[in-house]
Chains A and B, each alone.
Chain A
Amino acid sequence: MIEPVALQDFFITFFSAALIILAGASYALLFAWSKVNSHFRIKIAALVSYAVLILSVAELTRAAHFQGYWLIISMAMAVGYFFAPIGIWHLCVKTHADQDLIKTKGGRR
């Protein structure tokens, strides 16, 4: 059973849902960038994006009244958005494995 969003939570529901995707993409972008250019600030920015994502997931969970098995969606978003960019990065490295690839400041691939 679902409990609809309350009137006063309309805006925050839309906003937090949008922010999950935006923060997830920012985290993915900054994570990938930190691999290409291993600068400390970029890593921090990636973690800040992820923190925004977690806050957004928490807010959406509250506003949309996630209970019971609906909490699996919140967990899946929190865990999935963290590991997906890491997994995709590894896929990138593997699929380009026999090519002379990225030259990074830190010399990492």
Chain B
Amino acid sequence: MFEYALSVMIFLPILAGLAMLLFPISRGASRIAGMIVSLVVLLMGIELFLGFSGTGGMQYLENRPWIESLGIRYGLGVDGISLLVLMTSAVLFPMVFSIFTTRKKGYYANLLIAQGSMIGAICATDLVLFYIFWEIMLLPIFFMIGIYGGPKRLPATLKITIYTIAGSLLMLAALVYVGVSYHNQFGAWTFDIVQLGALNLGGGFAVLAFFMFMAAFAIKIPLFPFHTWLPDAYTEAPTATTFVLSAIMAKIGVYGVIRFVVPVFEIEFARFAILFSLAGVVGMMYCGLAAIAQKDMKRMLAFSSASHMGIIAVGVFCMNVQALTGSLFQIAAHATSTGVLFLFVGLMEERMGSRDIGDLGGIAYRAPIFATFFAIAMLASVGLPGTSGFIGEFLIILGAVKFNGFIGFLAGTSLIIGVCYMLWMFQRVFFEKTNERTLQFADLKVSEVLTFLPVIVLIMAMGIFPQAFITKIEPAAQLQVAQIFPTTQSDVAETTVLTPGHTNTKN
């Protein structure tokens, strides 16, 4: 029955979303329908997760020819790299439907389409198929920000759309270049990522193609200095969209680098890894400092999210098992912590009509449960031991130190910035004096508590028993790193051969 599980997880939400748009149904019905669909996807995701054996290879494969003349296939699969990303997108969506009850039909429909296309992008093993889902996933975001966003939504929409589409189009050209190179080297057309790994690229065009791929992903992550669309888009988007953007879409950028760039461009990747990891570290610091200065909570969280994406990116570019595992783990951790913080801010905005830090204060006295939940998510986001954030960041920094002491040092220290803005914001919003605005703040309702509780438990569980998750992702990470390392290790081998008196070359 699980033969087509991935296809169902992709197309059930998409079709449900389209049907919702086409047929006139009420907003309540559309919310319930969306909720049911997302719960079905969640259950399938859990089943998938439990059944996943963690051997490093792809599972739940689906592979059918699609456009034969160009070797494009409808190929889906999940491995340790995509598993947690897939899980985040399955776990988080039901929350949105449960919390935001007053939105319009189109809003829920767009959310469903976003979910389906994101799962598609995560599961695709064919570059062209990935690209198609990658582009589709922008459309619901475009409509959600543009139709349901804040007062300055138009410029924000244009910025994110043109920015990301420009990146994607560059990737399209690079992707075709990769396919054509494969055709030239092996005489057959394919865009299957496993087969493309055999490709041996070199020369100026390969570097160019590498940068074109990286541009697309760097914009989506967003990696410094491609982050300028982020504050506006995150701030102006309705909360659920910001949540989707930060918790899942940004992660797909990181995931794309690991899945599609590393296997094809091993040499270029190893060559420019230091550059990109520096960009990650600089982004961490820059966005962290910018977050301190923000007055708007959502905008602050936007910068904080970008800052944390920086460390995840650093983990990817360190090219060792610890850092990669850490990044994959942190993807889920960040989605559950920072992502959920966005939801909390959305709730606060809905209840009090403001999200300016200056307007708020003393919420903790009025709403203790809310404050506790918020505190847990916040502490996970700054990486307190015992929460999920700690494990990921620890592993990444461990790997970063192994890769390059300087980068490791910078990454480790800039985490402190995160603590600064988060705790300071928490103090100003949840403690200090209550004012007339916050006085009316009602604590979480039972339904809301039930919605958030699983995620809060998940944050703690991932922090205390990380092994359950790491065993699933580590084999895949090892496999991935082993792919890059033959090149770098052979370089090392060559240098040792050159030492005098100690040679194993034939004389």
Do A and B assemble together? no
